[in-house]
Structure 1
Amino acid sequence: MRIRAAQLNVRVGDLAGNFERILHVWDHAERDGVDVLLLPELVTTGYPPMDMLDHPWFAHEIERVHEALREASSTKSCALVFGSITLRPSERPGKPLYNSAYWVYQGKEVARVHKQLLPTYDVFDEARYFEPGPASEPIEWRGRRFGVLICEDLFENENPWPASDYACSPVENLKGKEIEFVLIPSASPFTLQKRARRVTIVQRVTQRLECPLAFANQVGGNTELIFDGGSLVVNDRGESLEEAAPFQEGWADGVFPALKLVDQTSEFSAKDAPSPNTPSLTPPTQPSPWQEQALQAITLGIKDYIQKSDLKPSICFGLSGGIDSALIAVLAAHAVAPEDVMAIGMPTRYSSDGSLTDSKQLAERLGIGWKTCSIEQMRDLTGSSIETMIEEPLAEIAQENIQSRLRGLTLMALSNHSGALLLATSNKSEMAVGYSTLYGDMAGSLAPIGDLYKTQ
C-alpha cells in the first residue's frame, strides 16, 4: 500500500482554484499508483478562513466542493483524505461548524473525522468558529486500521499554555485500538523552531501508538502566516524516513509493509516512484541553517502576498545604506525579478555621501533599479509653513519626524503611481521599543523583517 502526504499552496477563500489544485495533485497520485493521498487541514478553504466561515453561503459552497470531490473519486483507484469544514445541524447547541477531515473513495464517503482540540492562542482562533469534535475511532479500509488526527490533535499538550491545558488526549484515545497507521492533515505555521519541535512530537506519537505516521502540512503565505510544509512519513519507531522539501509544493510517499519514499518538486513533475520491492531507504532531510530558513520563509511570504492579492509583481522601498533597508533589497530581489525592484534614495543635507554610494553599489550588485529624490526642499518648506502657522519654532522631535514622514509620502506616491508594492523596512526591535515614525519609516503594505530582531 502506497500512502502519499502532499503539501499544497492554496489561497484562502479560493474554492474553485483550490479544487483545481486538489484535482491536479490527485491525478498525479493516481498515475503514480498511490493508494491513499493525504492533503492538509482545511485545504478546500485555505488556512485560516477566519470570518468567511460566518457566512452561510460560504459553508454551502464548500459542501458543493465536497460533493464534486466525492464524485471525482468514482473514477479513481486512489483514495483521498482532505481537510475541510462540516456544517453542523442548526438545532444542535454550540458553534455551527466542525473542522473536519474527509475520506472519499470510489464515489463514496468512507469516513469523516472532526478536530477535537481547537487552538485559541497566539495566531489561532479556532474556538471562535468551530465546535470540538467527539473522540475519533479507527477507520477500517482495505483490511487496515487507520487513525486520523487533525493538526492540534497531534500536538495536544506539547504546546505552551494555554494549549497545555487541554482536557483530553486524542492520541491517548487511539492507543490500544490496534491502529496500524496514523494520518495527520495539518496547517502548522512556520517558526524558526517549529521543524525540530514538530519532528520531536511526531516521534513521541509514533512511539506511543507503535505505528507509522504520515503528516501533510500546508505550504505558502496566507494573511500574516507562513506555512513551511515539511510533510513527512515516519516509521513505527518515530524515525523520519523522508520529508518533502520545505517552502514549496511537494510530497513524500510511503510504501508498506516496507517504507520507501520519494520527494517531488513544486511543479509535480512526473517522476517514477520506487518499486515496492526496493530495499533502500532515503535518509531524512537535514534542516537548513536558521538564516536560510528565514530567507526562504520571508521570500515565500512576499511572493504569495503579491500573487494571492493579484498585485503587479513589482516592489519599491527606501534604501538608506543601512542594514535594514539593505536586507529588504536582498529579499525583494529574491521575491520578484530584480528588474522589477526599485530602490529609492531620499537624501537631505544630513545624508552622508557614503550612504548614497553604498546604496547605489548594492543596487547595482543586486541588479535592481536605483533612483534618488532629494527631500531637502520639501523638508524646509514643510517646516517653515508649520512654524508660520503656529508662530513659534517647531519642537525638535517634530523637526526630526518631518524628514521620515516626507520619505513615507514620497514612497507611497511612487507606489500609487507605479502599482509597485511598498515594503516597510522596520524590524521587530524598533517596533518593540517604539523607535520608528508613524506614517514615516513604518509606511508600507508589508513589513518583511517586522518579526526579526535587529540582532538577527
Structure 2
Amino acid sequence: MKIALAQINPVVGDIKGNFKKIIEFINRAKYQKADLVVFSELVTVGYPPKDFLFMQDFLEANEKYINEIVLPATYQIGVILGTVRQDTEGNLYNSAFFIYDGKIVEVFDKTLLPNYDVFDEKRYFKPAQIRKVASFKGIKLGVNICEDIWKDYVFEPSVDYSVDVLEEQFKLKPDIFINISASPYYLGKQNMRVEMIEKKIKKYAIPFVYVNQVGTNDELIFDGASFVVNEEGKRVVQLKAFEEDIKIVDMEELKNFKELPEIKEDISWVYNALVLGVRDYCKKSGFKKAVVGLSGGIDSAVVCAIAVEALGKENVLAVSMPSRYSSEGSKSDARILADNLEIEFRVIPIEPVFKSYLSVFNGDNNVIGDLAEENIQARIRGNYLMFISNREGHIVLTTGNKSELAMGYCTLYGDMSGSLAVIADVPKTMVYELARYINREKEIIPTSIIEKAPSAELRPNQKDEDSLPPYKILDEILKMYIEENRSAKEIIEKGYDERLVKDIINKVNRVEYKRKQAAPGLKITTKAFGTGRRMPIVHNFKL
C-alpha cells in the first residue's frame, strides 16, 4: 500500500480555504498513485478552534464542506482526515474520518483528551468509549489521534491516563498504526516524539505513520516534521520541519529503507519556528508589513532579523527613536543593522515630546529622574510605532524577551505595545544564541550589539544588571521555576542563594498584571507565559 503523508497549514476558521487545500493535496496524492492520503488532526477547521466549537454555524459549515467537497474527491483513493463530529445529542468529538469512494467508511474518535498547559479539549469534546481498526484493501489500519499515543509520556502532575489506546488497538491486530496530530512545537519536542514512538513500535513490531499539523495559530507553532517508523522501530521517512510537505511511502518497501540519523534539534529549530511564527501570524491576520523599534540592543536586532527572514526586506520598517540617554554606539549600531538587512530605516527622536512631558509634570524642563520619567520614554516610542501602524498598515512587533517579561522589566503601553511578541518565550541567554546563529554566515547583527552590556538607556549609564541578576543565573532560576515547576526549596538546594531565589519568584508572581496585557508571544519552550500558564492577577501570596 502506498500512503501519502499530507502535512498542510490550515487556518483556524477558514473552512473554505482549508478544504481547498485538502482537495489540492488529495489530487497530488492521486497523481502520485497513492492508495491512501493522511491529513492531520482537526485539519478541516484548524487547530485549536477554541470556542468556535460552541457556534452551530461553524459546525454546520464544516459538515457541509465534508459532504459536498471531500466526499466526491475520494473516488479511487482513501482519505483520513481530522475533523469535528457532532452526534445526535449535540456532543462533540475530535475525530478522524476514514473516507473512500465517496463514503465515510469509519470514524475514529479521540480517546485521551489533553487538559493541561495550552490544551482545553475536555471543555469541548467527549472521549471515545471504544477502540477500533478499519480494513482497507486487505490492510488493517489502527488510526488514533495525537494524545492517544502519549500515555506515560506526559509529565504534568494532573495527568493520569487509564486507557492505553495503542495497547487496546494492538489487540485488534492492525497492520499499521496511523496517528494524526496537531502537536505544538517547543525545543526538544521532535526528538521526544521520535524516541517515544520508536520505543513503542519496538514492542508492537508494526509500522507507524505520524502526520502532524504545520503552521502557526495564535501563539502556537506547529512544526510538522511528520515521519514514518518501520516495524523494527526505526525512523525511515522524514518530512520537512516548519513547511508544508507531502511524501508518498510504499509501506511494503519500508524494510529496505535506511534508518535516518538522529535529528540535531539545535538553535536553528528555534529560529525557524520563530520565522514561521511571524510569517504565519502576519499572513493569517492580514498584514504584509511590519515595523520594529530598533534601539541598537540585541533583542530588537534579533526580532528585526527574524522579521526580514519571515516577511522579506521590502516589508520591514525599522524605526530608531533616540532620546537624550541614547548612546552614540546604539544609534550607529541600529543604522548599521538596518543597512545590513537592507531595510527602510527612519530616525524619529523622542526628545521634543519628552520635553513636553517634563514641562507638564515637572513644571519646567528639569529632570527628577524617577521611574515615571523612564517609562514615559518607552511609552512615547510605543505611541510612535502605533501611529505608523495605523497610518501605514504595519503590524507592530514587540521586542521584549522572556527574562524581562518574567521580572516585569518592561513598560505597559510602552515597549510592550504591539500585536505580536516575537521573543516573549525566549530567555535572554537564548537571544544571544539566536544572534550568533543569524550571524552564522556573515555579520548581520553588528558584533558591538552582541558584546555590549544590555541597557534600556532610560537614564544615564543605565545597565540591566542594575535592576536584574546576571542573566545566566536569572535564566537558570526562571527555567526551574516556570518551565519545570520547581519549588523555592528545590531551587535553593541546587546551590542558589535563598534570598535571590525568593526575590525572583516573588517578582515573577507580582507582575502577572503586566503579562495579562501583553501581546501574544510565540511559544518555543515547555512553559510559556500565555494560555498555558494561568495565574491570578490579584493575589497576596509571597515567599
* Structure 1 residues 1-400: aligned runs within 5 Å: 1-73=1-73, 76-90=75-89, 96-162=91-157, 164-259=159-254, 281=257, 283-284=259-260, 286-311=262-287, 313-388=288-363, 396-400=370-374
Render the CA deviation track for 1:313-368: whole Å, top value 9, x for unaligned. Answer: 11111111111011011101101121221111111111111111111111101111
The CA distance in 2 between the partners of 1:22 and 1:163, in whole Å, is: 36
Could you say which residue in structure 2 is the equivalent of 1:274?
none
Aligned-residue offset at 1:438? 0.6
Secondary structure at the counterpart of residue 152 of structure 2: helix
Render the CA deviation track for 1:129-175: whole Å, top value 9, x for unaligned. Answer: 00111222121121111101100001123111246411211112112
Secondary structure at the counterpart of residue 64 of structure 1: helix
Unpaired runs of at least 5, structure 2: 431-543
Contact in 1 for aligned 2:187/2:265 (Cα 8 Å): no
Could you say which residue in structure 1 is the equivalent of 2:488?
none
Aligned-residue offset at 1:205? 2.5
The CA distance in 2 between the partners of 1:78 and 1:65, in whole Å, is: 18
Could you say which residue in structure 1 is the equivalent of 2:428?
454
Residues 1:104 and 1:408: Cα distance change in structure 2 (over 3 Å): same
Aligned-residue offset at 1:376? 0.9
The CA distance in 1 between the partners of 2:251 and 2:428, in whole Å, is: 48
Match of 1:419 among 376, 379, 393: 393
The CA distance in 2 between the partners of 1:165 and 1:73, in whole Å, is: 40
Aligned-residue offset at 1:393? 8.0
Aligned-residue offset at 1:48? 0.3
Contact in 2 for aligned 1:37/1:78 (Cα 8 Å): yes
The CA distance in 1 between the partners of 2:292 and 2:133, in whole Å, is: 54
The CA distance in 2 between the partners of 1:232 and 1:33, in whole Å, is: 20
The CA distance in 2 between the partners of 1:226 and 1:423, in whole Å, is: 17
Aligned-residue offset at 1:283? 4.9
The CA distance in 2 between the partners of 1:286 and 1:411, in whole Å, is: 44
**Which of structure 1's runs of 4+ aligned residues deviate more than 3 A?**
392-395
Contact in 1 for aligned 2:23/2:73 (Cα 8 Å): no
Deviates more, 1:34-43 or 1:156-165: 156-165
Residues 1:198 and 1:423: Cα distance change in structure 2 (over 3 Å): same
TM-score, normalised with respect to structure 1: 0.91
Render the CA deviation track for 1:54-97: whole Å, top value 9, x for unaligned. Answer: 011211111112212453245x3110000001102227xxxx20
Secondary structure at the counterpart of residue 423 of structure 1: strand
Contact in 2 for aligned 1:184/1:216 (Cα 8 Å): yes
The CA distance in 1 between the partners of 2:137 and 2:391, in whole Å, is: 60
Tell me how many residue pairs correspond in the alignment. 429
Two-structure CA RMSD over aligned residues (Å): 1.7
The CA distance in 1 between the partners of 2:152 and 2:247, in whole Å, is: 27
Aligned-residue offset at 1:204? 2.3
- Provide the identity percentage: 38
Render the CA deviation track for 1:29-48: whole Å, top value 9, x for unaligned. Answer: 00101011010000000000
Unpaired runs of at least 5, structure 1: 261-278
The CA distance in 2 between the partners of 1:142 and 1:256, in whole Å, is: 13
Aligned-residue offset at 1:394? 5.7
Residues 1:126 and 1:67: Cα distance change in structure 2 (over 3 Å): same
TM-score, normalised with respect to structure 2: 0.76
Contact in 2 for aligned 1:139/1:147 (Cα 8 Å): yes
Deviates more, 1:65-74 or 1:422-431: 65-74
Aligned-residue offset at 1:254? 2.2
Amino acid at match of 2:388: L
Deviates more, 1:114-123 or 1:130-139: 130-139
Secondary structure at the counterpart of residue 291 of structure 2: strand
Match of 1:443 among 417, 433, 457: 417
Contact in 2 for aligned 1:119/1:163 (Cα 8 Å): no
Amino acid at match of 1:84: T
Could you say which residue in structure 1 is the equivalent of 2:466?
none
Could you say which residue in structure 1 is the equivalent of 2:453?
none
Contact in 1 for aligned 2:320/2:348 (Cα 8 Å): yes
Deviates more, 1:330-339 or 1:23-32: 330-339
Contact in 2 for aligned 1:243/1:285 (Cα 8 Å): no
Secondary structure at the counterpart of residue 259 of structure 1: helix
Contact in 1 for aligned 2:354/2:377 (Cα 8 Å): yes
Residues 1:375 and 1:414: Cα distance change in structure 2 (over 3 Å): same
Contact in 1 for aligned 2:26/2:73 (Cα 8 Å): no
The CA distance in 1 between the partners of 2:172 and 2:109, in whole Å, is: 18
Secondary structure at the counterpart of residue 386 of structure 1: helix
The CA distance in 1 between the partners of 2:87 and 2:210, in whole Å, is: 27
Render the CA deviation track for 1:156-202: whole Å, top value 9, x for unaligned. Answer: 23111246411211112112321110111110001101001100111
Deviates more, 1:204-213 or 1:124-133: 204-213
Could you say which residue in structure 2 is the equivalent of 1:401?
375
